[in-house]
Structure 1
């Protein structure tokens, strides 16, 4: 036996090591496979998923304060892309009326500053203006908002409907791109039931 161990000690060492690994797996059982599944999800590039999010940016030193509520938020593995679903965004800027927007989903790309929103978008500016569309692209770096879908804007005593919109936030200019229909009303449309 001693002679056998001297001659085959590497094989015996490997066998003992395999036995210990097998024992560890048997003892760990289901927990090992759950951990493996978790590692697989993280390594798959899906990143981190969060549910029922309420995020508030209300730093007194900032001129813009905002709150984001979302049913689900997903961060890419490198945290450069943020996806959110069933969201409500409320923004208060110093010296301006508040702005709110709700919709089905959005994607924010940190590197480009591009925010793309979809799904029954319903926005309001102050108590006077309301904005409805299906899709918008907000370019944070350029300060623009645009889309090519049907859009409706309601204000005190008017309604504007059309296809496509371009907003230059720095110049406070809104342009409906085509098929524009403007209606002047006697009463404000913004107060209608949502």
Structure 2
């Protein structure tokens, strides 16, 4: 609960980013499906053209239909590729920024750097494995991410020997402080990327 309430803005950003990713996937899939349907119609028009008397109005009509359907399918495929490149490729970047911001917040609040980094990455990884529809799927992903992070925190506190914790923290301290100091800058950059997309 403390993670959920303390990082409510981070989790809200995760939810929005997850939804954006799922919406992009849904849009690209629908557009590709429509392009595939148009190609099938173009193939059908070609078959009808081959069966029509040469030079007839029917042959001319089927040729024009085939060309129009193929052109429309190509336009849709270009649109799908553009959306995937322009928007879809930025979703993971924003997600990494949100994860870094969450880790930075944990370090700022006193969590040991190694513990913050490990639980933050575990939560992000677990959330990425959750599939589902827009809305509920994104909410489930955020919930699974929080749960995975809490589980790793518990394991760190109860199962990792103190000597190992100390050694790991020494190695991660420099990285952890860098993440903590960079969290606001990363968050600002992620916001700029998000605003440039939408």
Give the structure-1-normalised TM-score. Answer: 0.29
Larger radius of gyration between Structure 1 and Structure 2 = 1
Higher relative CO (Cα under 8 Å, sequence separation at least 6) belongs to: 2
The structure in which a higher percent of residues are strand is 1
Give the structure-2-normalised TM-score. Answer: 0.29
The structure in which a higher percent of residues are helix is 2
